[in-house]
Amino acid sequence: MAERYIVIIAGGKGERFWPQSRAARPKQLLPIVGDSPLLTQTVERVKPIVPAENIYIITSAVQEKGVRAICRGLPKDNIIAEPEGRDTAAAVGLASAIIGARDPNGVFAILPADHVIHNGKKYQSDLKAAFAAAAAEPVMVTIGIAPTEPATGFGYVQRAKPWKKIRRKTVYGVKRFVEKPDLKTAKKYLRSGTYFWNAGMFVWSVPVVDSAIAKFAPELDAGLQSIRAALAKGRKLTPVMKKVYPTLQKISVDYALLEKSDNVVVLPSTFDWDDVGAWPAVARHYAPDKTGNVGRGSRLIEQGSGNIVFSEGDHLVTVVGADDLIVVHTADATLVCPKDKAQEIKAAVKRLSALADGERYL
C-alpha cells in the first residue's frame, strides 16, 4: 500500500475572530475551543495514523513564525510558507509536487487547520477509509459532512450511487459540486439527504492530482513544473518557491479540479465537525455558566444571558443588563458586537486597516 501523507492548510486572515485573532495569529493558532490552538489539535488528531515526518503544513509568510512555534514536533522542512496566497489549487499542486518528489505514488489528505472535531477516533477511521480508497483506485475522495442545518455558508457536494464499500463504509459517486446556496435551496439540500457540506477535506494520490492539474489547469501545471524540476534535482524549495509561487494561477481546487473531474467520490463523515466560522459558533463548545453565558477569563455578568465573553490577562469584563453580546477583550483592543451582527466584524477590521493608526491592531 502507498504511504500516507497529511497536508494541513493553515491559511486564513484572522478577521472573523478579531481582536483575538490577528493577521499573524488567525483562528488556527488560537485555542478558540479547547486548551490548545486548533492547528495543534489538528496535528495531534492525525498523528495516530501518519508519522510526524509525513505531516506537512502549508501556511502563509505572515503566520509562519506562529505555526513553527506550535509545531515543534514536525520536521522543519515540513512547514512551508507560501510567499503569497495563490488559493487552494496552487497549494494542492505544491503539496503534490513535494510529496511526489519523495514518493511518486504517495497518497495524501488535504485538511483544514481550523476546524473543531472532538471525536478523533471516528475522524481517524474515516480518514483511513479515504486513504484506502485513494490508494486502491485513481479517485479523488471528498469527505462529506452530513448537514445538520440549512447552512448557506458552505459549498455542497451531492452524492450519486454507492461506488464501493471500504472498511465497512459506503463511499458514493459524486453527482455534482454546488456553490454556497441560498436558504431555500439549502433547505432543499438538507431535506434530500443526498447533499453534504464540502469541508475542504480531500484524499488522493500524487498521480491523480498531477494528472488532473495537467488536464484541467494547464496554466497552473506549467507554473508548477519549475518547482517539480527543482525538487527533482534535490534543490531547496524556498528559492524556487519565492520565484515561482507568486506567479501561479490563482484558483480554488474545487473549481479547478473537483468540479471538472469524473473520478470524484464522497465518503460521508461519521465524526462531529464544526468549522467554528465566527464568534457565535464558539458558544456551542462551551458549557454555559449558571447565568447562561459562556466565555473565558475574568468576567462578571449582571442580569444578562447568552453572552460570549472572552478576556485576556486579569482584566475584568463586566456585562450589565445585556443579552447575546460578544465581548472580547485583549491587551490592546476590545470588541463589542451583538451575536447576530458577527458577520460585520470583518467590515470593522477592514475599516481599521484603512485608518492611519489602525494597522497596529490587525
Binding residues for a copy of itself (CB under 8 A): 19, 298, 300, 302-303, 311, 314-322, 325, 327, 329, 332-338, 340-341, 344-345, 347-348, 351-352, 355, 357-358, 361
Give whichever of 77 and 359 is closer to a copy of itself, judged by the CB atom.
Answer: 359
Contact indicator for 228, 94 with CB cutoff of 8 Å: no
Q: Shortest approach of a copy of itself to residue 275 CB, angstroms?
A: 21
Q: Shortest approach of a copy of itself to residue 274 CB, angstroms?
A: 23
Q: Shortest approach of a copy of itself to residue 79 CB, angstroms?
A: 32
Q: Shortest approach of a copy of itself to residue 287 CB, angstroms?
A: 21
Give whichever of 35 and 314 is closer to a copy of itself, judged by the CB atom.
Answer: 314
Give whichever of 247 and 303 is closer to a copy of itself, judged by the CB atom.
Answer: 303
Helix (H/G/I), strand (E/B), else coil: 143: strand
Residue 151 Ramachandran class (φ > 0 left, ψ -120 to 50 alpha, else beta): beta
Contact indicator for 80, 238 with CB cutoff of 8 Å: no
Give whichever of 232 and 336 is closer to a copy of itself, judged by the CB atom.
Answer: 336
Residues 6+ apart with CB under 8 A from 318: 299, 300, 301, 302
CA-nearest of 54, 85, 156, 126 to 271 is 126
Q: Shortest approach of a copy of itself to residue 280 CB, angstroms?
A: 12
Give whichever of 229 and 355 is closer to a copy of itself, judged by the CB atom.
Answer: 355
Contact indicator for 151, 197 with CB cutoff of 8 Å: yes
Q: Shortest approach of a copy of itself to residue 21 CB, angstroms?
A: 14
Sheet containing 294-296: order of strands = 294-296, 308-311, 325-329
Q: Shortest approach of a copy of itself to residue 33 CB, angstroms?
A: 22
Give whichever of 141 and 352 is closer to a copy of itself, judged by the CB atom.
Answer: 352
**What does DSSP assign to residue 192?**
H
Q: Shortest approach of a copy of itself to residue 281 CB, angstroms?
A: 17
107-112/140-145 β-pairing:
unpaired
115's grid cell: 476546524
Radius of gyration of the chain (CA): 21
Contact indicator for 159, 144 with CB cutoff of 8 Å: yes
Give whichever of 61 and 316 is closer to a copy of itself, judged by the CB atom.
Answer: 316
CA-nearest of 37, 95, 89 to 251 is 89
Give whichever of 255 and 361 is closer to a copy of itself, judged by the CB atom.
Answer: 361
Contact indicator for 45, 124 with CB cutoff of 8 Å: yes
Rounded-to-integer distance, Cα 306 and Cα 213, Å? 47
